[in-house]
C-alpha cells in the first residue's frame, strides 16, 4: 500500500497506520524507548516519530524501523519535528483552511 493511501495516528508510544479509504488497521509499531506523547512527521519515504526524547525513522508503508536516535543530552518532552520535505498534519490542515478561505473570498 502506498503511503498516500494511509493515515498515521500516534498515541501512547505507538503508531498505527490506517487505510485512508476504510479506516482498517494496516500496521502498528511500538517505541522500544520513550513513553507517552508521539510527534509524527510524514515524508514520501520516511515517517519520523519522536516519543518523549527518542526519535525513530520508520518506513511509512510497512512500519519497519529504519533507524533510531536517542538524542543523548537533549532531554525529554513533546518534540517539534520539521523538515523541508515533510508535512505535519497541522500544516496540512492550515493549508486546507487557507485554500477554503481563498475560495470563499473569490465567490
Give the count of beta carbons closer than 10 Å to the beta carbon of residue 1. Answer: 13
95 or 40, higher pLDDT: 40
Q: What is the pLDDT of residues 26-81, one digit of tens each?
A: 999 999 998 889 999 998 899 999 998 899 999 999 999 999 999 888 877 778 78
What counts of helices (H) and strands (E) characterise the chain?
1, 7
Decide if pLDDT at 91 tops 60: no
Q: What is the pTM for the complete model shown?
A: 0.74
Set of cell numbers at residue 100: 477554503
Closest CA to 1 of 19, 15, 16: 19
Residue ranges of domains in the chain, CATH in brackets: 3-106 (2.40.10.480)
The region, left, alpha or beta by phi > 0 then psi within -120 to 50, assigned to residue 18 is beta
Closest CA to 51 of 78, 80, 28: 78
Cα angle 81, 92, 80 (rounded to 5 degrees) comes to 15
Amino acid at each position: 500500500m502506498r503511503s498516500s493511501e494511509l493515515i498515521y495516528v500516534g498515541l501512547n508510544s505507538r503508531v498505527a497506520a490506517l487505510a485512508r479509504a476504510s479506516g482498517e488497521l494496516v500496521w502498528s509499531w511500538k517505541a522500544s524507548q520513550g513513553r507517552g506523547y508521539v510527534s509524527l512527521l510524514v515524508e514520501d519515504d520516511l515517517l519520523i516519530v519522536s516519543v518523549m526524547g527518542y526519535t525513530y525513522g520508520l518506513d511509512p508503508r510497512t512500519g519497519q524501523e529504519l533507524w533510531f536516535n536517542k538524542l543523548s543530552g537533549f532531554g525529554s518532552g513533546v518534540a517539534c519535528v520539521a523538515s523541508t520535505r515533510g508535512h505535519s498534519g497541522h500544516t496540512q490542515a492550515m493549508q486546507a483552511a487557507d485554500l477554503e478561505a481563498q475560495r470563499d473570498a473569490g465567490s
